[in-house]
Copies of this chain bind each other. A is one copy, B any other.
């Protein structure tokens, strides 16, 4: 006997199957949103809430590496801005703990029994949680999280005007969500994976850009600034500092710290083993510290001096070919977060790059320094042939650089002035000592020798390709502004600027030095004398800035 009832049961089954199929299709559609994780969670919840006609819902996920819980609440049809703070879910406590432990779905008919529902969650969704349906999200037996919906709405027939009551969640509701839970897990996991990959791309891209910026810096100081700036950006940190090993002093010298003045920073150092940085350098191991106040290794001294407050930090050794040249640290992850192992993984290649670049910049500066020192030493040896000109080239260089600075010349020209200052009298190699040391009046022959030294100096440096441009500066440093100098009787602006600068510096040193034939003038008298020859012997502009600079106290007489 076929009954009407049978037919209606079958028809109801067909309706339910169609509904389920559509629900599944809707969930599957969410794959399209994969690139926006938050939106995927929101849509998953909105759909679930709709399927069982609930008021609100939450998806709580367990971080598979840290075990931490994160949640995402959705209230059907209401914007996220209206939500309160998410409750602090605990993995092993309360109702959440129970569901995760048992791993089975549950209908909770009286939510007021559970403080987290009654208090925290009710506050978050701005509405009292009365009942709940909880379904664990599993993949291959492993629980990844829980999906919970709250307060099933009364159907139109059940609800009366002004009724604030809720209906109970049914076994059918539970069955429906469980039947879709596999797909929900997949959609969420897919979005997580995507999110993860996307984050990796952003991280690598930041790292690559940092590496490019680091590779471009040649000099140490701008390099350190770049390293700090990029270090903070890549690591999303509030601060960054770099310390280098001082081999001689067996110390860790601060060379850069974000937010602090260079001069202050350079006064700071740690002993090997002292503080976190000292520990890292001594043990040659990276450190990740969540809260430095709980770590005995942390030394407060640095925070106090730099008036900063370190909470969490990552500190790694800077290594070049197995040799530790210093340490680099970032501190306080922005947004009040702490650093994770993942940050450490990111920090290592960055610090490796920084180490290589620092070593490179130091090598370059060392070579530059060696160049200047060598020229200085040889110039000093030439000066020393004549006891009256001992230290002459170095002093002239100092005076000339002051003039160059006061004239506002660019860095490259200032460097040229320095080299020319050191090399201007190199031609004296060829002047006999007897002439240089002569106390009697010089003969014409002696004068010939002396007057040859600028030409000889220019000749000596002429084979050095990199100094080609400087040759005229040396050749003409004994020209006079009025055209009565030597070797070429150049006049005024025809004399190269650097030669005019050297002439002023040279004259001041000559006037203030002992000579075989007279004693040296006091600085003040020398300056007066120079005012007199301003415009005849010397370039007036150069004399003026020199005198101004002298008055400002820029010239420290070491003698």
**Chain A positions near chain B (C-beta within 8 angstroms):** 2, 4, 6-7, 10-11, 13-14, 17-18, 20-21, 24-25, 27-29, 31-32, 34-35, 182-183, 186-187, 189-190, 193-194, 197-198, 200-201, 204-205, 207-208, 211-212, 214-216, 218, 349, 352-353, 356-357, 360, 363-364, 366-371, 373-378, 380-382, 384-385, 426, 429-430, 432-434, 456, 460-467
CB-defined contacts of A34 to chain B, threshold 8 Å? 190, 193
Docked Cα-Cα span, A32 to B35, in Å, equals 16
Contact A467 B201, beta carbon cutoff 8 Å = no
Nearest opposing residue in chain B for A212, CB measure: B353
Contact A349 B212, beta carbon cutoff 8 Å = yes
CB-defined contacts of A433 to chain B, threshold 8 Å? 432-433
Docked Cα-Cα span, A34 to B182, in Å, equals 16
- When the two chains form the complex, which single residue of B17, B18, B377, B434 contacts A461, counting CB atoms closer than 8 Å? B377
- When the two chains form the complex, which single residue of B197, B378, B426 contacts A201, counting CB atoms closer than 8 Å? B197
Contact B384 A430, beta carbon cutoff 8 Å = yes
Docked Cα-Cα span, A448 to B432, in Å, equals 18
Docked Cα-Cα span, A430 to B456, in Å, equals 18
Docked Cα-Cα span, A205 to B197, in Å, equals 13
Nearest opposing residue in chain B for A374, CB measure: B464
CB-defined contacts of A376 to chain B, threshold 8 Å? 463
Q: Can you show 8 pairs from A to B with CB atoms below 8 A apart?
A: A24-B25, A204-B204, A207-B208, A211-B353, A370-B371, A374-B375, A377-B464, A378-B460
- When the two chains form the complex, which single residue of B11, B13, B28 contacts A28, counting CB atoms closer than 8 Å? B28
Docked Cα-Cα span, A463 to B379, in Å, equals 12
- Given the interface contacts A200-B201, A349-B208, does A466 sit within 8 Å of B385 by beta carbon? no
Docked Cα-Cα span, A368 to B463, in Å, equals 15
CB-defined contacts of A370 to chain B, threshold 8 Å? 371, 464-467
Contact A352 B201, beta carbon cutoff 8 Å = no
Query: Nearest chain B CB to A323's CB is how many angstroms away?
Result: 14
Contact A377 B463, beta carbon cutoff 8 Å = yes
CB-defined contacts of A371 to chain B, threshold 8 Å? 367, 370-371, 374
Further contacts, 17 of them, CB under 8 A, given A360-B360, A373-B467: A7-B10, A10-B10, A13-B14, A14-B14, A24-B24, A25-B183, A28-B28, A31-B31, A215-B353, A363-B364, A367-B367, A373-B463, A374-B461, A374-B467, A377-B462, A377-B463, A384-B429
CB-defined contacts of A464 to chain B, threshold 8 Å? 370, 373-374, 377
Docked Cα-Cα span, A311 to B514, in Å, equals 76
Copies of the protein in its oligomer: 2
CB-defined contacts of A29 to chain B, threshold 8 Å? 182, 186
Most buried by B among A21, A200, A205, A378: A378
Query: Nearest chain B CB to A354's CB is how many angstroms away?
Result: 10
CB-defined contacts of A183 to chain B, threshold 8 Å? 25, 28
Docked Cα-Cα span, A472 to B220, in Å, equals 32
CB-defined contacts of A18 to chain B, threshold 8 Å? 17
Contact A363 B218, beta carbon cutoff 8 Å = yes
Docked Cα-Cα span, A543 to B205, in Å, equals 59
- When the two chains form the complex, which single residue of B7, B384, B461 contacts A2, counting CB atoms closer than 8 Å? B7
Query: Nearest chain B CB to A469's CB is how many angstroms away?
Result: 12
- When the two chains form the complex, which single residue of B28, B211, B216 contacts A24, counting CB atoms closer than 8 Å? B28
- Given the interface contacts A31-B190, A375-B374, A463-B373, does A429 sit within 8 Å of B381 by beta carbon? yes
- Given the interface contacts A17-B18, A204-B204, A373-B463, does A186 sit within 8 Å of B32 by beta carbon? yes
Contact B211 A215, beta carbon cutoff 8 Å = yes
Contact B7 A381, beta carbon cutoff 8 Å = no
Contact B186 A429, beta carbon cutoff 8 Å = no
Question: Top 10 closest A-B pairs, CB basis?
Answer: A204-B204, A17-B17, A370-B466, A373-B464, A381-B460, A197-B197, A10-B10, A381-B429, A215-B215, A211-B211
Nearest opposing residue in chain B for A429, CB measure: B381
Docked Cα-Cα span, A382 to B357, in Å, equals 39
Docked Cα-Cα span, A464 to B376, in Å, equals 9
Contact A366 B466, beta carbon cutoff 8 Å = yes
Query: Nearest chain B CB to A297's CB is how many angstroms away?
Result: 30
Docked Cα-Cα span, A212 to B353, in Å, equals 6
Query: Nearest chain B CB to A350's CB is how many angstroms away?
Result: 10
Contact B204 A377, beta carbon cutoff 8 Å = no
CB-defined contacts of A35 to chain B, threshold 8 Å? 193
Docked Cα-Cα span, A356 to B11, in Å, equals 74
Most buried by B among A28, A187, A456, A460: A28
CB-defined contacts of A31 to chain B, threshold 8 Å? 31, 186-187, 190
Query: Nearest chain B CB to A369's CB is how many angstroms away?
Result: 7
Contact B364 A364, beta carbon cutoff 8 Å = yes
Most buried by B among A212, A374, A375: A374
Docked Cα-Cα span, A462 to B380, in Å, equals 12
CB-defined contacts of A363 to chain B, threshold 8 Å? 218, 364
CB-defined contacts of A374 to chain B, threshold 8 Å? 371, 374-375, 461, 464, 467
CB-defined contacts of A214 to chain B, threshold 8 Å? 215
CB-defined contacts of A208 to chain B, threshold 8 Å? 204, 207-208, 211, 349
Docked Cα-Cα span, A214 to B216, in Å, equals 12
Query: Nearest chain B CB to A188's CB is how many angstroms away?
Result: 10
